[in-house]
């Protein structure tokens, strides 16, 4: 049955990696006791504050939590188009 589903949907490594990344993010959020909605709100607040000083490319913006050992880090990749003067 599993083999049939694999053939039907294809055995795509990129979708496998994407699923692993989503699971990792869910686990990190759970360990940090953050709801997905809170992470979304945090991202919106970051955009609002940084947009006062810089023009951002919000399509490429990524905000994630990463865990290492006993700590959790907020990692943000925020593409900047231009600095406001």
Query: Is it the case that residue 10 has pLDDT exceeding 80?
Result: no
Please tell me the predicted confidence (pLDDT) of residue 48: 92
Please tell me the predicted confidence (pLDDT) of residue 75: 83
Mean pLDDT along residues 10-38: 68
Q: Which domain holds residue 33?
A: 2-83
Query: Is it the case that residue 7 has pLDDT exceeding 60?
Result: no
pTM for the whole thing? 0.54
Query: What percentage of the chain carries pLDDT values higher than 70?
Result: 67
Query: Is it the case that residue 46 has pLDDT exceeding 60?
Result: yes
Please tell me the predicted confidence (pLDDT) of residue 17: 75
Residue with tokens 């490429």: 60
Domain count of the chain?
1
Mean pLDDT along residues 10-22: 69
Helix (H) or strand (E) holding 74: strand 71-77
């Amino acid at each position: 049955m599993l083999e049939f589903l694999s053939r039907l949907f294809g055995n795509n490594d990129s979708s496998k990696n994407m699923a692993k990344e989503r699971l990792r993010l869910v686990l990190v959020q759970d360990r940090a006791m953050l709801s997905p909605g809170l992470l979304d709100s945090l991202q919106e607040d970051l955009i609002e504050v940084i947009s006062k000083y810089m023009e951002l490319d919000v399509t490429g913006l990524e905000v994630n939590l990463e865990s290492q050992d006993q700590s959790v880090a907020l990692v943000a990749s925020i593409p900047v188009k231009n600095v406001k003067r």
